[in-house]
Chains A and B, each alone.
Chain A
Amino acid sequence: MRIFLYILLLSILLISCEENFSPKTEFKEKYVLYCLVNADATWIQIQAFAWIANIYDVEGIDPNKKTIKPNIRGAKLTLFKKNFQYPFYEYSEVHTSQYDTLKNYFITNISNPSPDRDISIKAALTNGVVLSGKTSIPMNLNLEFSYTFASGFTTNINKFHHGYSWIIDWSGSFGEHDEHLFFTKIFINYYKQVGTDKIYGSVEVPIKIIQKNGQDIPVYPTYTYTHSISFDYDAFDWAMKQIAGNDPNKADYNIINLILSIDEFDLNLSKFYSSVNGYLDQFSIRIDERTYSNINGGIGIFGSYTSTMIDFEINKAYVESFGYKRY
């Protein structure tokens, strides 16, 4: 019986030896196309940027060790809107990105696509590979507010009647089931007079302030699929206080305005953003989740977005209640 036990232990020890193992498989050539269309609020002309790269391999599993630039040059890119074609032009310049990878890009300008918002892209590479995709550009948003401020923004309102939050609702080009992503931000712009110089700054307004261990913790808006957002009035007061902080010379601060911006991603960009930033919870462990792609013949994204921005004046008495001046 002892012999059996010895064999057992020996087997365990032999098998216990660590083996070489690589998590990689055979590398195959594949191409990546990104094209973003920024349909800004002017709607006169919109600009499309595109990047093309290839998938690459490195020694080991750290992609930062790559020695080759993945950019693809010489491709013919065309943007299509109904019967019109818009060729892209290739540019090369030093890109200041953290990873210094895609230094050359393609740009084209197209006329306001409304009311025909559907556009498509085709990229013909020099080796015959064709990449293509389609998108539909979102239109600007129509906004509604729970309270309109006749003499500039203030939190000194009858909150019992009008509520303790400023609620902003919007509607737009999205269909009932087209769940676009929205990014909402409110900033208070100001400058500080230092001698003859003006030092400009801005403070982002959180949606609410929560108490944790006796301290105020601001909660800022994240992306949302809903067509509404709510900012507590207390959060505006908190943001106003942050402008000067502990600086006793509050009169040096001039409050310029309050800016509300809502960015809307189209369906493709919304899916892409969600698949990249998707977060279930802090415990679930997910593996090999793939990123959303709408590029035929390769991977990547062809998407568009619009920005809706509104400038609000801030009530003079409200500004002065903090010891500031109104610009």
Chain B
Amino acid sequence: MSKFIYFLIIYTLSVELCFSTGSLRGFVTDSTNGEAIVYANVYIESTQQGVATDTRGYYFIPSIPSGTQLVIVSCVGYKTKKNDIAIQNNKITELNVELIPTTFQIDDLYIYGQKSAENETNLGLEKIYAREIEILPTGIESDIFRVIQTSPGVSTTGDITSKYYVRGGGSDQNVVLLNGAPIYYPYHALGTMSVVDPEIINMLEFFKGGFTSQYGGRLSSILNIVTKDGNKNKFQGGAQASFLSGKLFLQGPIPNGSFFVTGRKSYFADVLKKYFNNKDAPFDFYDVTFKVSYSNQAIDKDSKFIVHGFASGDFVDYEDELKENYSIRNQIIGMTWDKVWSSPLFSHFELSYSGFQAEVIPNLSNSKPRSNQIVDITLKSDFAYVYDNKDEFGIGMENKYFGSKLNVLNLYGQRMNYDEWGWDLTIYSNYKFLRWEKIGFDIGVRAKLLAISKKRPFLLEPRFNFTYHPTALVSLKASVGRYSQEVLTLTDENELISIFEPWIIIPDYIEAPEATQFSAGLEMYITENMTFEIEGYYKLIDNLIDINRKKFSAKDNDYVNADGHSYGAEILLKFQPRDFFIKLSYALGWAYKVNGGKEYYPRYDVRHSANILFGINFGNGWQGNLMWTFNSGMPFTPIAGFYDRLDFPTLPPSLYSTNFIPVIFWGDKNSARLPVYHRLDISASKEFEIFITDITIGVNIINVYNKKNIFYFDRDTGEEVYMLPFFPSAFVKVEL
């Protein structure tokens, strides 16, 4: 082992000393508003070296031969810029580039610089631009989770809920990060849509697996939402109205920085009636997001300081003591400090608070009182060093305080109280071998020194990613990693729609879940405007947490351990000729859960799923989109017969008047499949200008051919309950 380390050091030094080279670094921003441009390509023509900017718009290219070099900077939707830059020997040259946006063309949508970052080791990462969210046919509101669900390997259990399941993992195995801080309940209106307003989004990074050592705490997926900084050049404001909600947004410059603030409020909840069994519920929700960026070169050179915040609330507030009320709230306040040091070192510090409160207030109804409070305070620091040979070394630390209070009365009237807190201290490191043209490695590890849950021992989570490029147009990738999770929701699979999904630290009497995931895939350019990806995975999950269905006494534990595994394959084809685009995805997957020695398919196990996304630009501001979704039938528990169940028409029960009612006798859990699900959504929009105002009007139609997709069978009557029917909606957006 020591010989190997000596070899690495000597090899690294020798490479650094052999050539007369310098480095180039800087930020790429939008010339109109100063926003960071994520995943822009920065390319050295003579050496054919290239990198993509990160989520902050930052790039660094080492080992450029000294002398004048032509640097080409390009990104989808922007005019390509070329600069002659003098690279000095053993020095870092700075080049900040402002790109000028072009008129949005749909055919630009998927062109981005994967070719320039050929040995990136990011298997399982899907980069989603804000524009991709905008063009998708919307439901009642445009929604980031609808975009996520078009990704192969991501499934959902119905139209009604935005909850998503990644590669056979439970919904609480996914985390949604807003500028690095977790949102514990990222849904509005009982899960119908996301709390994150698409207006604020600059970029989404969606890791379906194989996430690097920087990320942890979840078994299945990471959705990292990077919000806009705000226009650095001028003030801009706007408003949007849909059938459900209205929103306002404002952005503009401040001295040495910019700000962005947006707020959304529901005003006409009637549209939600199609979604719920209770048609008269007075739903109400809001969300507010802000971000302030500050970068003063005189005070702190090459650094950026950001303060961001988010709050959302969902309420059902009957003015009737005989009915229950609900309230769900999220809050985030955070700050980050990014700095580019004089050496090729990049640092990132982050401090955030994320709070979550949910409560069911029964008043005088028969509802069960339930409440949950979460406090998450996270301090995170990352350092990345780029060597001249292009290798990267990263190290970081995450320190988290997590507190959870839960007070519930369950279906059987049993009271549960949890009041737990814990500290998590994790250090992580990774080394990216990017020095070779055709091969890239990313070797990393997360070491958990302190755990939130009392039963979690010291834990090492190794991560390994590999990329091989046999040709410039083809890359083969593989990854293996171990992942752990210590907080989870008490999700009951039998609740298709749930008003209350509390988060808790894993109780002491059960083991904390861990997962190992293997994946391998191929990416290739079939033609200049057609890309093809195929990826396979196998995920083994130990110690899943499941509801103890045999809890009928306060003495029984509320939760039990279960195991699970899943495997499958995913295909993604993107094709963008001149005036339209098509995205085709297909996934084949199997997911299993084992509880009490019995293996069964969880409800989110979808064998075949396919999506077709089609967009066309008609010109003159007209745009049309179509999305067709197909899923093979979800598992459900079939009817195995009927029996007459004892009923108490009077209380106390009289032996002489005791009654019986016929009810369903259910078969083995999830042993049958629903019919296939498919749905076609279309949308059209028109953008035009009146004086200084940009106006967009649009219409959406959900379930165009009114397919009766079965949602579930009523447990009392056995009758079919369907998902969303044919449903048209419209919106108008005004921007100043």
A residues lining the B interface (CB < 8 Å): 1, 8, 12-13, 15-16, 18-19, 21, 23-28, 30, 32, 34, 36, 38, 47, 49, 51, 53-58, 61-64, 66, 70, 97-99, 101-102, 177-179, 181, 183, 185, 208, 210, 212, 217, 219, 222-223, 225, 261, 263, 267, 270-276, 278-292, 299-301, 305, 307
Give the most central of A25, A51, A284, A286: most B CB within 10 Å.
A284
Q: Which residue of B lies closest to A222 (CB)?
A: B366
The answer to whether A287 touches B712 (Cβ under 8 A) is yes
B458 in the interface, Cβ–Cβ < 8 Å? no
Inter-chain contact B644/A24, CB cutoff 8 Å: no
**Which chain A residue has the least Cβ–Cβ distance from B670?**
A288
Q: Are B628 and A290 in contact (CB under 8 A)?
A: no
Interface string of B10-42 (1 = CB under 8 A from A): 000000000000000000000000000000000
Interface size on B, residues (CB 8 A): 87
Q: Check if A25 sits within 8 Å of B672, measured CB to CB.
A: yes
Residues from chain A with Cβ under 8 Å of B278 in the complex: 282-283
B457 on the A face (CB < 8 A): no
Q: A283-B277, A288-B666 are in contact. Are A305 and B364 (CB under 8 A)?
A: no
B454: CB under 8 A from chain A? Answer: no
Smallest distance from the beta carbon of B82 to chain A beta carbons, Å? 34
Nearest A residue to B579 via CB reads: A1
Contact between chains at B664 and A63 (CB < 8 Å): yes
- Contacts A282-B323, A288-B636 supplied; 14 other A-B pairs, CB < 8 Å: A8-B628, A18-B708, A19-B675, A55-B641, A55-B643, A183-B651, A210-B322, A225-B413, A263-B652, A267-B553, A278-B411, A281-B367, A289-B494, A290-B549
In the complex, which residues of chain A have a beta carbon less than 8 angstroms from the beta carbon of B5?
none
List B411-426 residues whose CB lies under 8 Å from chain A.
411-414
Q: A24 to chain B: which residues have CB within 8 Å?
A: 638-640
B159 to chain A, nearest CB (A): 13
B660 touches A49 (CB 8 A): no
* Given A19-B675, A212-B320: A56 in contact with B642 (beta carbons within 8 A): yes
Nearest CB in chain A: distance from B436 CB, A: 40
Quick check: B499 and A23 within 8 Å, CB to CB?
Answer: no
Report the minimal beta-carbon distance from A288 to chain B, rounded to whole angstroms. 4
> Is there an interface contact between A98 and B322, defined as CB atoms closer than 8 Å?
no
From 656 to 682 in chain B, residues with beta carbon under 8 angstroms from any chain A beta carbon are 658-669, 671-672, 674-676, 678, 680
Indicate whether B718 reaches chain A with its CB closer than 8 angstroms. Answer: yes
The answer, among B552, B641, B659, for a CB contact under 8 Å with A27, is B641
Is B276's CB within 8 Å of the partner chain A?
Answer: yes
When each residue 359-374 of chain B gets 1 if its CB lies under 8 Å from chain A and 0 otherwise, what string results?
0100011111000000
Q: Are A285 and B495 in contact (CB under 8 A)?
A: yes
Residues of B within 8 A of A (CB): 190, 276-278, 281, 316, 320-324, 326, 360, 364-368, 411-414, 492, 494-500, 549, 552-555, 577, 612, 614, 628, 630, 636-648, 651-653, 655, 658-669, 671-672, 674-676, 678, 680, 705, 707-708, 710, 712-713, 715, 717-720
B577:A28 contact, CB within 8 angstroms? no
Closest to B641 in A: A55
* Contacting pair A23 B494 (CB below 8 A): no
Can you list 22 A-B contacts (CB < 8 A)? A16-B707, A23-B639, A25-B668, A53-B644, A57-B641, A61-B664, A99-B644, A99-B661, A102-B660, A179-B553, A185-B651, A212-B322, A270-B413, A276-B647, A280-B411, A281-B326, A282-B324, A285-B495, A286-B492, A286-B496, A286-B715, A289-B494
C-alpha gap A32/B643 in the complex (Å): 8
Minimum CB–CB distance from B678 to chain A (whole Å) comes to 6
Whether A70 and B364, one on each chain, are in contact in the complex, defined by CB atoms closer than 8 angstroms, is no
Partner of B718, one of A18, A23, A181, A210: A23
CB neighbours (8 Å) of B499 from chain A are 280-281, 283-284
User: Which of A27, A61, A217, A267 lies at the interface centre, i.e. has the most chain B CB atoms within 10 A of its CB?
Assistant: A61
Q: Tell me which residues across on chain B come within 8 A of A307, comparing CB atoms.
A: 652
Write the nearest CB–CB distance from A278 to chain B, whole angstroms. 4
Report the bound CA distance from A310 to B322 in whole Å.
30
Docked-complex contact A63 and B652, CB < 8 angstroms: no
Q: Which residues in A have their C-beta under 8 angstroms from that of B678?
A: 12, 15-16
Residues of A within 8 A of B367 (CB): 279-282
Q: How far is the CA of A256 from the CA of B662 in the complex (A)?
A: 40
Q: How far is the CA of A18 from the CA of B708 in the complex (A)?
A: 8
Assess whether A56 is in contact with B643, with CB atoms less than 8 Å apart: yes
> Inside 8 A of B669's CB, which chain A residues have their CB?
288
Check if A16 sits within 8 Å of B705, measured CB to CB.
Answer: yes
Cα-based distance from A15 to B608 in the complex (angstroms): 14
In the docked arrangement, what's the CA distance between A281 and B646, Å?
Answer: 23
Q: Which of A70, A178, A183, A281 has the most CB of B within 10 A?
A: A281
Specify which chain B residues have a CB less than 8 angstroms from the CB of A275 in the assembled complex. Answer: 411-412, 552
Cβ of B494 and Cβ of A70 under 8 Å apart? no
On whether the beta carbons of B412 and A61 are closer than 8 Å, the reply is: no
Report if A38-B655 is in contact (Cβ < 8 Å); known contacts: A101-B660, A212-B320.
Answer: yes
Contacts of A26 in B (CB 8 A): 640, 667
User: Residue on B with the closest CB to A53?
Assistant: B644
- CB of B596, distance to nearest CB on chain A (Å): 13
Q: In the complex, what residues of B have CB within 8 A of residue A18's CB? A: 708
A99 and B660 in contact, given A179-B414, A279-B367, A280-B367 (Cβ under 8 angstroms)? yes
Contacting pair A271 B495 (CB below 8 A): no
A-B pairs with the 4 shortest C-beta distances? Answer: A63-B662, A278-B411, A25-B638, A63-B642
- Inter-chain CA distance A57–B667, complex, in Å, is 13
Tell me, in angstroms, the Cα distance from A274 to B411 when the chains sit together.
Answer: 7
| Residues of A with C-beta under 8 A to B628 | 8, 12
| Bound complex: CA A82 to CA B630 (Å) | 62
- Assembled-state Cα–Cα distance A70/B645 (Å): 12
Q: Are B640 and A210 in contact (CB under 8 A)?
A: no
A287, B644: Cβ atoms under 8 Å? no
Write the nearest CB–CB distance from A163 to chain B, whole angstroms: 20
Closest to A279 in B: B366
* Alpha-carbon distance between A281 and B328 when the two chains are bound, in angstroms: 15
Q: Which residues does chain B contribute within 8 Å of A210, judged by CB atoms? A: 321-322, 364
CB distance from B489 to the nearest CB of A (A): 14
B549 surroundings in chain A (CB, below 8 A):
290
Contacts of A281 in B (CB 8 A): 324, 326, 360, 367-368, 499-500
Q: Are B644 and A102 in contact (CB-based, < 8 A)? A: yes
Q: Bound complex: CA of A305 vs CA of B648, how far in Å?
A: 13
Q: Quick check: B497 and A70 within 8 Å, CB to CB?
A: no
Considering the chains assembled together, what is the distance between the CA atoms of A111 and B713 in angstroms? 46
- Contact across chains for B715 and A64 when beta carbons are under 8 A apart: no
Q: Is the CB of B680 within 8 A of A12?
A: yes
B554 touching A177 by the CB < 8 A rule?
yes
Nearest residue, chain A, Cβ from B717:
A61
For residue B321, which residues in chain A have a CB less than 8 angstroms away from its CB? 210, 212
Residue contact A285 to B412, C-beta cutoff 8 Å: no
Which residues of B sit under 8 angstroms from A53, Cβ to Cβ? 643-644
Docked Cα-Cα span, A179 to B556, in Å, equals 12
Task: Evaluate whether A287 and B720 lie within 8 angstroms (CB atoms) in the complex, with A212-B321, A280-B411 already known.
Answer: no
Bound form: Cα–Cα A192–B671 in Å:
61
Docked CA distance A289–B647 (Å): 17
Residue of B nearest to A100 (CB): B660
Chain B residue numbers with a CB within 8 Å of A280 are 367-368, 411, 495, 499-500
Give CA–CA (A261, B326) in the complex, Å.
Answer: 34
Closest-by-CB residue of A relative to B655 is A49
Bound-state CA distance A11–B364 (Å) is 53
